[in-house]
Structure formats: C-alpha cells, structure tokens
Chains A and B, each alone.
Chain A
Amino acid sequence: GAVVSQHPSRVICKSGTSVKIECRSLDFQATTMFWYRQFPKQSLMLMATSNEGSKATYEQGVEKDKFLINHASLTLSTLTVTSAHPEDSSFYICSARMTEFNSPLHFGNGTRLTVT
C-alpha cells in the first residue's frame, strides 16, 4: 500500500533555531501534501496544503513566514519551523493522497518537536 515517510520522528531544538521536517511519498506521486499539527490529546489541525511547484496554501492563523513549506518534487515536501519557540512544540504530521479519486489520505509517522 501507499507509504508516506516522515523524518525525523523526534527532534529537540533550542529556542531561536530552525528545524526542517521532510515528508516523502515512497511509492506514489503526490501533487498535493498536507501538513497537520496536533497538540497533546487534541485533534489534528490543518496548517497548510503543499502544492508541487507552487506556493503552499496556509490555513487562517498559520504564519507562513514561520512555517515555511517547500514542495520541490512530486515525492517530497518539507516543513521548516523557523526561529522555533517552546509554544511550537507539538506533533507535526504530513499526509499525502494518491491521485485516484476518493483515495484516503495516507499519513506519515509524525515528528515530535520539542523546543527548549
């Protein structure tokens, strides 16, 4: 089945530094990938839609300059958390959908970000 690989699975960084998270579709091409954020014991909140070869579409309230998204190829999207602060600590999950109509979203394993 379709596999989405996310890396790293866990990262700890200091305040003010930047962290890059990679999301790869391993056995299919994904023109669109989605980045979600999940706080402990809460639901998933869509941050942005990553479009291959064009700018990402951000949800209301998500700072595009803080969460930089690049979708340079049909199998890779990256999320960079710039100048991270402790409040950015969260579980970030990427997902991708195969091109077949009505296929479900396949999720990466998530990245646990802790900013100290």
Chain B
Amino acid sequence: ELKVEQNPLFLSMQEGKNYTIYCNYSTTSDRLYWYRQDPGKSLESLFVLLSNGAVKQEGRLMASLDTKARLSTLHITAAVHDLSATYFCAVDMYQGAQKLVFGQGTRLTINP
C-alpha cells in the first residue's frame, strides 16, 4: 500500500524567511503533484513533477523530485503572508486503476 508522508505537518514562520516542506512516499512512482488549499476551498494545482531530478519554480515556490530517494521537496523563498495555506503532495499510483494518494498536508502560517 502506498503511503505518502509530509513533514512538517504544521509550520509557522516569519515573512522573509525560507523553509522546506518534505514529502516521502513508500513505493515506486515517478509522478508527483503539489497542491495548495485555502480554508474552505478546494485544491489548486501548483506543480506536476514527472521525472527524477525534475525541478519547477513558480514565484517564491520551488518543487523538486528525487524518485530514487522517493522524496519531493517544496521550498519557500522569502515567504510572504499570501502563501499561508495548506500544501499537499500527492503521488500517482496504479493499483488496478490509476489514482492519486495524498499526504497529510502541511499547514503553513506566515506571520508578518
């Protein structure tokens, strides 16, 4: 059974600081996604990582994937308050059918 674990689950940080969220998964997969969820809202797609060594950047967020280590990171640079949200990683797996398995989510709070 595929397990997806995020670390940390809660993160409170100051504006302007850098930090990294980690996502580990337990079985082979080369497709990993990062999503953002604001309170009471649905999920917004941030990044699609499709191969080992993939790195994508959008604004202050950068995501990477190491399929050998089964690890993805979401790095936040010079955080701003607008980035406060819950971030989920999700891994594609095929178990009779293709489906997406989510990590627990990391609740990020950025304080002025």
Q: Taking beta carbons and an 8 Å cutoff, which residues of A are in contact with B?
A: 6, 32, 34, 41-46, 49, 51, 57, 93, 95, 102-110, 112
Measured in the bound complex, the distance between the Cα atoms of B98 and A101 in whole Å is 11
Interface residues in B64-112 by Cβ distance below 8 A to A read 88, 90, 96-105, 107
Contact partners of A110 in chain B: CB under 8 A: 41-42
Q: How many residues of B contact A (CB 8 A)?
A: 24
- What does DSSP make chain B's interface, helix, strand, loop or mixed? strand
Contact, CB under 8 Å: B41 / A109: yes
* Residue of chain B at shortest CB distance from A45: B102
Measured in the bound complex, the distance between the Cα atoms of B102 and A53 in whole Å is 27
Q: Please tell me which one of the listed residues B42, B50, B104 contacts residue A93 in the complex, with CB atoms under 8 A apart.
A: B42
Measured in the bound complex, the distance between the Cα atoms of B43 and A32 in whole Å is 18
Measured in the bound complex, the distance between the Cα atoms of B104 and A42 in whole Å is 7
Contact partners of B48 in chain A: CB under 8 A: 102-104
A7 to chain B, nearest CB (A): 13
Most buried by B among A6, A44, A51: A44
Contact, CB under 8 Å: A57 / B43: no
Q: Please tell me which one of the listed residues B33, B96, B101 contacts residue A104 in the complex, with CB atoms under 8 A apart.
A: B33
If A6-B42, A34-B100 are given as contacts, then 5 extra A-B residue pairs at C-beta distance below 8 Å, sorted by A number, are: A43-B103, A44-B102, A45-B102, A46-B99, A108-B42
Contact, CB under 8 Å: B42 / A46: no
* Residue of chain B at shortest CB distance from A51: B97
Q: Please tell me which one of the listed residues A42, A57, A104, A108 contacts residue B97 in the complex, with CB atoms under 8 A apart.
A: A57
Contact, CB under 8 Å: A49 / B97: yes
* B12 interfacial by beta-carbon distance below 8 Å: no
B83 to chain A, nearest CB (A): 19
A36 to chain B, nearest CB (A): 8
